[in-house]
Structure 1
Amino acid sequence: MSSTIESVPLPESIRLINHGPTVMVTAAHGGRGNVMTAAWTLPLDFDPPKVLAIIGANSFTRELINASGEFALNVPPQALVKAALGVGSESGRDVPDKFARHGLKTFAAQKIAAPLVEGCVAWLECRVIRDANTAQNEKDYDLLFAEVVGAQADTRVFSQGHWHFETAPDELRTIHHAGSSQFYAIGEAVKTA
């Protein structure tokens, strides 16, 4: 089953994270890129699509985001759980190239400078919203409000605005962090009709 990546219409893009997956956050500025894992991201609005990400003010990724004003949310599947744990367990200040250290390859985003992680099943390209309403929350609570400016997904698991985990191999199921080094893969669909 070969991978095909297709653009996702922006009003549907928040569906890529509305089920609460762990994400890899990528950022770049001044010739330096970084990747970290985050479990606290959520959709805020459909059109224009907005997301909220909680990223510590002292992290190297946050430093790059503050400088560039943009970041990407990469949704890793079960096949990348070890890399997700690894990049979330060390700082880009201590490890100059976390991508190489954890065997992650990247490709260019369509709308932002931050790289996208190959092997993920969805990608959201985000620009930080900075105004009087968001500035204090960003400072006090490490909340980053962002508009999604580009989105893509692997059609083996997401197409026509919906996830299709039931027809994809288990290694393509998204992962969900439950604390420490414990992750779970998304489960079976529940029929409602």
Structure 2
Amino acid sequence: MDTHIAPVELAKAYRLINHGPTVLVSASHDGVANVMAAAWACALDFAPPKVTVVLDKSTRTRALVEASGRFVLQVPTARQLRLTQAVGNTSMADDADKLRNCGVTLFQAGGGADPLVEGCAAWLVCRLVSEPHNQQAYDLFIGEVESAWADPRVFANGHWRFEEAGPEWRSLHHVAGGHYYAIGAPLSAHAEEDATSPPSSPA
């Protein structure tokens, strides 16, 4: 098990993916587990927290999600760039030993059986909210977040701390064709307002 993992309160779970990172999607059913990369994932609701993710019909992970009714979204880090690219471009249909060959280690957390990818910065364990029309027509899957976890070295007290962690902790943002950006430096709209606003008139 990944020893650097702490629970995230569900009211703050949306913050784990609100900055638009590429995610790893994992699922398992009947003794088979798989992991894929997905660039189209986002928060959907607060209470209960929900997320969406697009899963192509050709992927084995999607079949596992549909069969089990569960999936996990996780936020990989810059040091997992090659792993992320590998699981996103390797099919279990072509490589039965895909996870080992891509360098994936799985673990469970909180007494659950859901497969989590070791070494990520955050994990959201989800129950599938079945929407057959959306799934078939748009490949769009909705999950209700049942538990959330993060590595406290980069996410603590409900906030990302990318500026305090090393560059290897930056989240990945896929553009196309294996080209990614890492999350950049923090900017504060409030700080800019403080710096640019004229002093207030005395009462």
Q: Same fold (TM over 0.5)?
A: yes
Supply the distance in 1 between the matched residues of 2:70 and 2:118 (Cα, whole angstroms): 19
Number of positions where the alignment pairs a residue of Structure 1 with one of Structure 2: 188
Q: Does 1:25 align with 2:33?
A: no
2:199 aligned partner: none
Q: TM-score scaled by structure 2?
A: 0.89
Q: 1:180 aligns with which of 177, 182, 187?
A: 177
Q: CA deviation at 1:138?
A: 1.3
Alpha-carbon distance change, 112 to 92 in structure 1, aligned in 2, over 3 angstroms: farther
Supply the distance in 2 between the matched residues of 1:113 and 1:22 (Cα, whole angstroms): 24
2:101 aligned partner: 101
CA contact (8 A) 1:74 1:116 kept: yes
CA deviation vs aligned residue, 1:119-144 (integer Å, no higher than 9, x gap): 100000011101xxx22111100010
Alpha-carbon distance change, 15 to 169 in structure 1, aligned in 2, over 3 angstroms: same
Q: CA deviation at 1:112?
A: 4.8
Q: CA deviation at 1:33?
A: 0.5
Q: CA deviation at 1:151?
A: 0.4
Q: CA deviation at 1:4?
A: 2.8
SS of structure 2 residue aligned to 1:14? helix
Amino acid at match of 1:44: L
Bigger mean CA deviation after superposition, 29-38 or 98-107 = 98-107
Supply the distance in 1 between the matched residues of 2:78 and 2:167 (Cα, whole angstroms): 7
Q: TM-score scaled by structure 1?
A: 0.94
CA contact (8 A) 1:112 1:125 kept: no
Q: Does 1:145 align with 2:149?
A: no
1:16 aligned partner: 16
Q: Where does structure 2 lack aligned partners over 5 or more consecutive residues? A: 192-203
1:170 aligned partner: 167
4+ long deviations beyond 6 Å = none
Supply the distance in 2 between the matched residues of 1:127 and 1:58 (Cα, whole angstroms): 21
Supply the distance in 1 between the matched residues of 2:104 and 2:57 (Cα, whole angstroms): 25
CA deviation vs aligned residue, 1:35-83 (integer Å, no higher than 9, x gap): 1000000000111000001001221001111100001011100000000
Amino acid at match of 1:113: A
Amino acid at match of 1:101: N
Q: CA deviation at 1:113?
A: 3.1
RMSD: 1.2
Q: Where does structure 1 lack aligned partners over 5 or more consecutive residues? A: none
Supply the distance in 1 between the matched residues of 2:14 and 2:168 (Cα, whole angstroms): 22
Structure whose CA Rg is larger: 2
2:152 aligned partner: 155
